[in-house]
Copies of this chain bind each other. A is one copy, B any other.
Amino acid sequence: MRPEIVLFGDSLTEQSFGSGGWGAALADTYSRKADVLVRGYGGYNTRWALFLLHHIFPLNAPKAPIVVTIFFGANDAAILGRSSERQHVPLEEYKDNLKKMVNHLKEYSPKTLVILITPPPIDEEGRNEYARSLYGDKARELPERTNEVTGRYAKQCLELAKEMGLHAIDLWSKLQETEGWQKKFLRDGLHFTPEGNGVLHQELEKVLSETSVSAANMPLDFPHHSKIDGKNPEKAFQYLSL
């Protein structure tokens, strides 16, 4: 049975198979080795995602994924009293919800590699421009997310990874290392450009390359075509019927 990699998160995961997307790039890397399945839910925070957890990862499933990425926080960090407050989840609850997800996955399958991803940084100017492009003069004055507040959520995510001994990608910090990250990596102040997608894909590959489920260490599902003798093709496939 083909191993599975599940990407669980919000719109940043849901859109990961768009052009240049990080999910599609991962699927390409694991071509003929593992299936990459998107479980991304635009607009969801961790509180709402918990309602899905047991349905997406039922304890009695016949097989468990080899890798699960958990990538929430961008919506939890929406600020109270501003236009997206409906999505807000308090900082401590965010961490606690992530912990519940990890504990469920560990109960489900102790061997599954869980990778936590922090929310990306926020380009507040980009968010405002985006709001104005949608609503014109009616756009809210204050950004519904700020980089500073989102950074606090990123920190909680990293702390949890440390406490639980999990792999984590500090995307909030990583993206900000590059001059001009605001427009280079984010297309509306929050969602990725192809370059932003590329950074997350690279960071994921870096984490995965040091584990037992590195694509480079996994065998191809069936013989490479160069191993097939044109005159006796059955030889290359004999092992399948043993």
A residues lining the B interface (CB < 8 Å) = 2, 14-15, 17-21, 24-25, 27-28, 31-32, 35, 37-38, 40-44, 47-48, 51-52, 55, 62, 85-87, 194, 222, 224-226, 228, 230, 233-234, 236-237, 240
Contacts and interface: CB of A to CB of B under 8 A. Distances in A.
A20 B20 CA distance: 6
Contacts of A44: 225
A41 B31 CA distance: 9
B38 A31 contact: yes
Contact of A14 (B31, B228, B233): B31
A85 B19 CA distance: 35
Contact of A222 (B21, B32, B41): B41
Contacts of A17: 24-25, 27-28, 31
Contacts of A35: 35, 37-38
B230 A86 contact: yes
A48 B233 contact: yes
Shortest Cβ-Cβ A-B pairs, 5 listed: A43-B225, A86-B230, A24-B24, A51-B237, A17-B28
A218 B19 CA distance: 22
A48 B236 CA distance: 9
Contacts of A48: 225, 228, 233, 236-237
26 contacts: A2-B37, A19-B25, A21-B24, A24-B24, A27-B38, A31-B40, A32-B38, A32-B40, A32-B41, A35-B37, A35-B38, A41-B222, A41-B225, A42-B224, A42-B225, A43-B225, A43-B226, A47-B233, A48-B225, A48-B233, A48-B236, A51-B222, A51-B233, A62-B62, A86-B230, A87-B225
